[in-house]
Each structure stands twice: as structure tokens, then as C-alpha cells.
């Protein structure tokens, strides 16, 4: 079964074709990231306009690159949320148009669940359920117990800033980048060989009796630390990254003890973070669990995992019920 998918939830415009949920045949991603640097954040209207500009060429390229006729496709999948309303609408309406024009079923997909399916495409090792899942991105930090495809239990998540948002805002405080500085922060942190500030920043909610986390106070503590002018920036970057990962690892450890999963899955943009990947890998080894994390190109937004999620868990829907849903949570129907 070949599914063509569209993903336009934020500043990426992506189209993919995936076979049986596991084999990527083609993936095209365009990004309007560069247009948001001067404003230090996304201007939703600009992101939406860029989606309109990019969607046609991205779709054309995906079909051309694979030399595929629409006749050979079995379904169209599209991200319906969460995301920016203007951006989402472009993908949703384009997918509806394709569904009508090509007479194919249309499958709505939750973007956050999509992130998890980056672990199911192009892999050699199958995921053994139950899995402890961490979706960690610019907008979300969610701990989930996944018993099977479509059988998920929400354990907890961020009460305020998402991990990616905390990375980006801290990167801005350190003067690394005005927008999406998570990668730069992590590179700077890697240059710190001795964390002289170890334990100086708080580990918010690390011992709380549930799976909720909070990162907005951490960012404020970084601001105070910078103002004190004691540590060089790479030490502060390292201490921030370590503090955030300490909290995440503590919650994962707690969930391993409580739910005894067979595997751990990471998904979302921040799962590209080298320190996070290695700490969670170590944790998996400690408990003898299989560890899955998408390759870097499937961590950040793309359409490949949308097609995979569509194959494994979502059913075709009536065209009229496929609508953009900007504030969808990870457990909500797309
Ligand atoms: O999943 P994603 O592409 O978009 C959302 O759905 O939010 O995640 C983007 C987020 C941004 O906050 C970005 O700074 C962060 O992922 N990110 C990283 C790294 N790569 C991307 N954060 C820390 N370290 C990285 N290597
Ligand atoms: Zn995302």
C-alpha cells in the first residue's frame, strides 16, 4: 500500500510517499525557516504564505522524483494538527483537493503521533511493545505508554514551556541565535569538557510524584546565571542541557520502574540532540530495553512519518470531517 502524505503544520512544507508504513520511497522538504530569522520567531502569516508558495513545487518534485503516477497511490494522508492554523489549512485543503481529483481516500494524522512513527520507517529492528515514548519537540514534551499501534496512555508532560522552546529561548539568552537555536546551544555545550556549574541550575519537578515537567523556571534561572557573569557561555549551555536532560531521564526512569516497558522510543525535533540520545541510550542499556530513535532527518518535521502513522493507526475519513485542528493534543483524534 502506497500512501502520499502532506505535512504543513509550521514552517516546513513536506510531501512523502511511503510503502506499507515502513519503506520511504520519496521525501521532499522545503522550509521557510530563513524568512523567520530576522523577526526572531515565526510570523504565522508569513509561514502560511510560504506554505502556499511551496506546496505545489514540493508535490510536483515528490511525484517527479519517484516518476510515479497518482494511479499507483492507495491513499492521501495529511497532518490536521497541532500547528499554526494558516499553515495547517494549506496542507489540509491541498490534500482534500488531491483526494477528490485522484479519487483516493483521505487519512487525517495527528502531527505528534506522527513524530513517534519516525521510529518505524526504514528500520532493520522491529519495535517490541509496550514502549515508553517521549515526544520532545519545539511545542511539546509528552511521556506516553504505547501498548500497541493505536493503544496509547498519556503519562504526563510539560506544564509550561516545551523542551525545544526552552532550548531556543536559552540559546537566545546566550546570544547564539534569535530563532531555533537549540542546535547551536547543543554544539556550544559539547565544547564544555568540565561542567564547573554542575548543579547550579534547578532540576524542576525532578522528584514530583507524577510525569509532569516544567521548563520555564529553568530558563529564568539561566538568565540570572548569565547576569552574574561567573561562568563562560559554554559552561552555562552545558549546565542547562544537563539540567533539562536530568529531569527527562528521571521521569523516564520512574516510568520504566512503574510500567516495565520492553522498549523506549524518542520522537520530535529535540530527539536530534546528541546528549539526550546518549543519556536515554544509557538508560535503556541499564534496564536491558530496546532503544529506538529516528535518524536525524526524521526527527525534525517531514511527511515520511505522517504516511507511516496513517498506515498503522489512522482510518480514512469523510472529506467534510477532515479539518485543521491547531490545538490538538497527543491523545486527541486528528
Ligand atoms: O519537531 P520539531 O521539528 O518541530 C515541532 O514540531 O516543534 O522540533 C523543533 C525543535 C526546535 O525547538 C529546535 O530548536 C529543536 O527542536 N531542536 C533541538 C535540536 N535540533 C532541533 N534542540 C536541541 N538540540 C538539538 N540538536
Ligand atoms: Zn514536529
Ligand lying nearest the CA atom of residue 274: 1
Residue 149 half-sphere exposure toward CB, CA atoms < 13 A: 15
Whether residue 114 has pLDDT greater than 90: yes
- pLDDT the model gives residue 314: 85
Whether residue 325 has pLDDT greater than 90: yes
Q: Which atom of ligand 1 is nearest to the CA of 171?
A: 14
Average pLDDT, integer, range 271-297: 97
DSSP-derived 3-state class of residue 290: strand
Whether residue 241 has pLDDT greater than 90: yes
Q: How confident is the model at residue 179 (pLDDT cuts 50, 70, 90)?
A: confident
Distances (CA, A) of 273 to 137, 163, 241, 269, 293: 11, 11, 10, 8, 11
164 CA to centre of ligand 1 in angstroms: 5
121 CA to centre of ligand 1 in angstroms: 20
- pLDDT the model gives residue 315: 86
- pLDDT the model gives residue 68: 78
Q: How confident is the model at residue 65 (pLDDT cuts 50, 70, 90)?
A: confident
Whether residue 123 has pLDDT greater than 90: yes
Grid coordinates in use for 204? 524542576
CA angle 316, 147, 1 (to 5 degrees): 35
Average pLDDT, integer, range 67-93: 95
136 CA to centre of ligand 1 in angstroms: 8
- pLDDT the model gives residue 106: 98
- pLDDT the model gives residue 323: 97
- pLDDT the model gives residue 78: 98
- Segment holding 235, helix H or strand E: helix 233-259
Q: Which atom of ligand 1 is nearest to the CA of 187?
A: 26
Best mutation site among 84, 116, 164, 302 for ligand 1 pocket (most ligand atoms within 8 Å of CB)? 164
103 φ/ψ angles, rounded to the nearest 5 degrees: 55, 55
DSSP character string of 102-137: HT--EEEEEHHHHHHGGGTSS-SSPPPSSEEEEEE-
- pLDDT the model gives residue 38: 83
Q: How confident is the model at residue 195 (pLDDT cuts 50, 70, 90)?
A: very high
- Segment holding 200, helix H or strand E: none
42 CA to centre of ligand 2 in angstroms: 14
Q: How far apart are CA 273 and CA 296, in angstroms?
A: 9
Q: Give per-residue pLDDT as tens, 128-137.
A: 999 999 999 9
Q: What is the mean pLDDT of the chain?
A: 96
Q: Which residues line ligand 1 (CB under 6 A)?
A: 137-139, 164, 167-168, 180, 182-183, 186, 268-270, 272-273, 300-301
Burial 233-248 (b: 16+ CB within 10 A, else e): bbbbbbbbbbbbbebb
Q: How confident is the model at residue 261 (pLDDT cuts 50, 70, 90)?
A: very high
Average pLDDT, integer, range 272-290: 98
Question: Which distant-in-sequence residues (6+ apart) come within 8 Å of 215 by Cβ?
Answer: 141, 158, 160, 161, 162, 163, 165, 166, 204, 244, 247
Question: Which distant-in-sequence residues (6+ apart) come within 8 Å of 102 by Cβ?
Answer: 70, 73, 76
Q: Which of 8, 91, 85, 13 is nearest to 44 (CA)?
A: 85
Is residue 316 within 8 A of residue 307, CB to CB? The reply is no
DSSP character string of 238-287: HHHHHHHHHHHHHHHHHHHHHH--SEEEEESGGGG-HHHHHHHHHHHHHT
- pLDDT the model gives residue 41: 85
% of the chain surpassing 90 pLDDT? 93
Q: How confident is the model at residue 297 (pLDDT cuts 50, 70, 90)?
A: very high
- pLDDT the model gives residue 181: 94
Average pLDDT, integer, range 168-179: 94
Q: Which atom of ligand 1 is nearest to the CA of 111?
A: 6
Q: How far apart are CA 267 and CA 269, in angstroms?
A: 7
- pLDDT the model gives residue 69: 84
176 CA to centre of ligand 1 in angstroms: 15
Whether residue 149 has pLDDT greater than 90: yes
% of the chain surpassing 70 pLDDT? 100
Whether residue 37 has pLDDT greater than 90: no
Q: How far apart are CA 129 and CA 265, in angstroms?
A: 10
- pLDDT the model gives residue 102: 96
Whether residue 88 has pLDDT greater than 90: yes
Best mutation site among 117, 166, 182 for ligand 1 pocket (most ligand atoms within 8 Å of CB)? 182
Average pLDDT, integer, range 48-68: 93
- pLDDT the model gives residue 322: 97
Beta bridge partners of 106: 76
Average pLDDT, integer, range 164-179: 95
Amino acid at each position: 500500500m502506497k500512501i502520499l502524505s502532506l505535512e504543513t503544520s509550521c514552517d516546513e512544507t513536506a510531501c512523502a510517499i511511503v510503502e506499507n508504513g515502513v519503506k520511504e520511497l520519496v521525501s521532499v522538504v522545503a522550509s521557510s525557516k530563513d524568512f523567520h530569522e530576522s523577526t526572531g520567531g515565526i510570523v504565522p502569516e508569513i509561514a502560511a504564505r510560504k506554505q502556499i508558495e511551496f506546496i505545489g513545487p514540493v508535490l510536483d518534485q515528490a511525484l517527479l522524483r519517484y516518476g510515479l503516477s497518482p494511479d499507483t497511490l492507495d491513499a492521501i494522508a495529511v497532518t490536521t494538527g497541532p500547528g499554526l492554523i494558516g499553515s495547517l489549512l494549506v496542507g489540509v485543503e491541498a490534500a482534500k483537493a488531491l483526494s477528490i481529483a485522484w479519487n483516493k481516500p483521505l487519512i487525517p494524522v495527528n502531527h505528534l503521533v506522527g513524530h513517534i512513527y519516525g521510529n518505524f520507517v526504514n528500520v532493520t529492528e522491529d519495535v517490541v511493545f509496550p514502549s515508553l515514548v517521549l515526544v520532545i519537540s519545539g511545542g511539546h514534551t509528552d511521556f506516553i505508554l504505547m501498548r500497541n499501534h493505536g493503544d496509547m496512555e498519556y503519562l504526563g508532560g510539560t506544564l509550561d514551556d516545551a523542551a525545544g522552546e526552552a532550548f531556543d529561548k536559552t540559546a537566545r539568552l546566550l546570544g547564539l541565535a534569535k530563532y531555533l537555536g537549540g542546535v547551536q546551544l547543543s554544539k556550544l555545550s559539547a565544547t564544555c569538557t568540565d561542567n564547573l556549574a554542575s548543579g547550579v541550575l534547578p532540576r524542576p519537578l525532578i522528584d514530583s510524584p507524577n510525569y509532569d515537567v516544567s521548563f520555564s523556571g529553568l530558563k529564568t534561572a539561566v538568565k540570572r546565571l548569565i547576569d552574574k557573569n561567573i561562568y563562560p557561555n559554554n559552561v552555562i549551555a552545558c549546565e542547562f542541557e544537563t539540567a533539562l536532560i536530568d529531569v527527562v531521564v528521571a521521569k523516564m526512569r520512574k516510568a520504566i520502574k512503574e510500567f516495565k516497558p520492553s522498549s523506549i522510543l524518542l520522537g520530535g525535533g529535540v530527539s536530534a540532540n546528541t546528549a539526550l540520545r546518549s543519556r536515554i541510550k544509557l538508560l535503556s542499556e541499564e534496564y536491558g530495553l530496546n532503544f529506538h530513535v529516528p535518524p536525524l532527518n526524521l526527527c525534525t518535521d517531514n511527511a515520511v512519518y505522517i504516511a507511516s502513522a496513517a498506515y498503522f493507526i489512522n482510518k480514512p475519513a469523510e472529506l467534510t470531517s477532515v479539518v485543521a485542528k491547531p490545538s490538538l493534543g497527543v491523545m486527541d483524534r486528528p
